[in-house]
Structure 1
Amino acid sequence: MTVQDQPWPPIDELVPHRGGMSWLDRVLSVDADTVVAEAVIRPDTFCVEHDQVPAWAGIEYMAQAVAAWAGHRALTEQRPVDLGFLVGTRRYESTVEGYAVGTCLRIEGRCELMGDNGLGMFACRVLVDGDCVASANLSVFAPRNGLAFVKGLEGTP
């Protein structure tokens, strides 16, 4: 299946990140509770050093997969895709020091909790060749109007 044939919108329609800050290549599946995305590490991928992306970047891959889930949810509910925030990470574990250029990552996220106030928690993992190489629980905040929320913070000490 080519990217054009997939039933999911392109990443740019699901995730607000652009340019070098958009790390996902495509969504493989998404539903009310889960998301599976894919990313290939390229020489020009953000933070590549010594031909690899450091393992801590797995958290950002997970967060962007969650953003794709939220974007899909917004589109399903006929709302605009909006900003969301990574609030925290718990129990991040990685069995690798980094992701080498050329590596294809499969990023999975499962919504464990999503409150009406936009606070949620996701169980996430990164797989390479079917093996889980990183996992974490992400706490997120997805207000109904993220841009207005950020603008409301301007001038706050």
Structure 2
Amino acid sequence: MYDVKNLIPHSGVMVLVDEVVFVDDVSIITKSVIKNSPFINDGKFLSFQLIEIMAQSLGVYKSCNDKTSANDVAFLIGCRKFEILKPFLEIGDEILIDAKLSIQDESGFGVYDCKCYLDKILVAKASISVFNPNKEKLAEIKNA
């Protein structure tokens, strides 16, 4: 079993992923329970914020699979085809995030197809681009 808090640099209420349900070399499924947090507005978790849960799930995926990456930093580069099918979620809702690798290059750039489900019903999906450089590339960027 994975301890999510040790796999991403977030802490406290900023950790939105609660559990790794499944992970392999090309995909991850995580679970997030919507809790009272700074993300709650008038008792609701607005679904556009699912992008952060998807991104954190990808950080967990990378930490589980790539020990050469600089797990303390990753960049959400962009999001395409973001579709919201349910405008908000509520405290206590359990969300499953299913992310699959679409492309990955040597530099650490990758694109992942992500879907979020509530009770097996699709509530949002997106194609997310991230950059998770290896330690050498990160040092090169910092020194540029």
Fold match by TM threshold 0.5? yes
Q: For 1:32, which of 4, 25, 29 is the aligned residue? A: 25
Counterpart of 1:4 in structure 2 is none
- Could you tell me whether the CA contact under 8 Å between 2:46 and 2:88 is conserved in 1? yes
- Structure 1 unaligned spans of 5+: 1-7
Distance 2:44 2:51 in 1: 15
Structure 1 residues 28 and 62: alpha-carbon distance in aligned structure 2, compared to 1, 3 A threshold:
same
**Greater share of residues in strand:** 2
- Could you tell me whether the CA contact under 8 Å between 1:82 and 1:147 is conserved in 2? no
- Could you tell me whether the CA contact under 8 Å between 2:114 and 2:126 is conserved in 1? yes
Q: Which SS does the other structure have where 1:83 is aligned?
A: coil
- Could you tell me whether the CA contact under 8 Å between 2:70 and 2:132 is conserved in 1? no
**Corresponding letter in the other structure for 1:55:** S
Superposed, 1:107-122 pairs within 5 Å as: 107-122=97-112
Number of aligned residue pairs: 143
**Corresponding letter in the other structure for 2:114:** C
Superposed, 1:63-78 pairs within 5 Å as: 63-75=55-67
Q: For 1:46, which of 38, 41, 52 is the aligned residue? A: 38
**Corresponding letter in the other structure for 1:138:** I
Distance 1:117 1:102 in 2: 38
CA drift of 1:152 comes to: 3.7
Distance 1:105 1:149 in 2: 37
CA deviations over 1:27-54 (Å, ceiling 9, x no partner) = 11111000000011112x2310111111
Q: Which SS does the other structure have where 2:40 is aligned?
A: coil
- Tell me if 1:58 matches 2:50: yes
Q: Which SS does the other structure have where 2:54 is aligned?
A: helix
Distance 2:9 2:140 in 1: 15
- Could you tell me whether the CA contact under 8 Å between 2:70 and 2:133 is conserved in 1? no
- Structure 2 unaligned spans of 5+: none
Q: CA RMSD in A?
A: 1.8
Give the TM-score of the pair, scaled to structure 1. Answer: 0.84
- Tell me if 1:18 matches 2:8: no
Fraction of identical pairs, as percent:
27
Structure 1 stretches (4+) deviating beyond 2 angstroms? 79-82, 145-153
CA drift of 1:81 comes to: 2.9
Counterpart of 1:138 in structure 2 is 128
Give the TM-score of the pair, scaled to structure 2. Answer: 0.91
